[in-house]
Amino acid sequence: MSEQYFAGHPKSRRRPAEIQVAVRGHSFRFQTDAGVFSRKEIDRGTELLLAALEVGPCELILDLGCGYGVLGIVAARLSEGGHVILTDVNERAVALAGKNVAANGIANAEVRFGDLYEPVRDMAFDHIVCNPPIRAGRAVVDRIVTEAPMHLLDGGKLWLVARTRQGAGSLRERMAVSFNSAEVVRRGSGFKVLRSTKAGI
Ligand SMILES: C[S@@+](CC[C@H](N)C(=O)[O-])C[C@H]1O[C@@H](n2cnc3c(N)ncnc32)[C@H](O)[C@@H]1O
């Protein structure tokens, strides 16, 4: 059986590849490898989330479950003066994300290894962006949603993407429970981009 993309220490034989893309008017190149999510091309859900994402200057952004780093690297390029932390539990993904941050000339991002919010346990962000690891199981995805408010500033936003026919509806319901509301901000290619905002005081 092929290895799951969220294996902590992938053992699959290396198959390095490079993806070159233009996103939101900027050019990027991403090194990828076997044992990481969507090795050959940017996932369509990730693409849709990137098209929808609204970040401003000087914002603090978390890319949770960064894979080879595409969400966090694009967010860093879009948030002038901002800072992005990319995290993943897959050590091969973390290594690739670090290389890709450097290769794309991104100075306002850093990559940390670890489980869910553990690498940022004392921090709160303007945005959390995540293409959630559905295959890692419901408990993992539930924690991404239920613990998000503790890691958002007032007015901060959780951005998730999911397949319309594979969990977007139930994910939206779970976001609505944790945040009191969740909206569909974009749909296409069989995916929905979902957003919840942490209410201010
Ligand atoms: C669907 S992939 C998305 C990857 C990347 N953000 C993208 O859009 O291409 C989900 C990622 O979450 C990571 N992941 C799974 N379980 C995790 C956990 N408990 N903590 C942190 N990351 C996790 C996986 O290793 C994988 O890289």
The residues spanned by each domain of the chain are 17-197
Beta carbons of 116 and 64 less than 8 angstroms apart: yes
Residues 87-112 have a mean pLDDT of 98
Q: What is the pLDDT of residue 23?
A: 96
Which ranges in the chain belong to alpha helices (H)?
Answer: 44-52, 70-78, 91-103, 138-146, 168-179
33 lines ligand 1 (CB under 6 A): no
In a mutational test of the pocket of ligand 1, which residue from 12, 70, 90 has the highest number of ligand atoms less than 8 Å from its CB? 90
Q: What is the pLDDT of residue 34?
A: 92
Q: What is the pLDDT of residue 75?
A: 98
Q: What is the pLDDT of residue 12?
A: 80
Residue 10 predicted with pLDDT over 90: no
Residues 115-131 have a mean pLDDT of 98
Residues 75-89 have a mean pLDDT of 98
- pTM of the predicted model as reported, rounded to 2 decimal places: 0.95
Beta carbons of 182 and 195 less than 8 angstroms apart: yes
Closest by CA position to 86, among listed 77, 98, 99: 98
pLDDT band of residue 1 (cuts 50, 70, 90) is: very low
3-state secondary structure of 101: helix
Please determine, looking at this structure, whether the domain spanning 17-197 carries the CATH number 1.10.1660.10. Answer: no
Residues 24-33 have a mean pLDDT of 96
Go through 89-100 and write b for each residue having 16 or more CB atoms within 10 A of its CB, e for each that does not.
bbebbbbbbbeb
Distance CA 77, CA 105 (A): 9
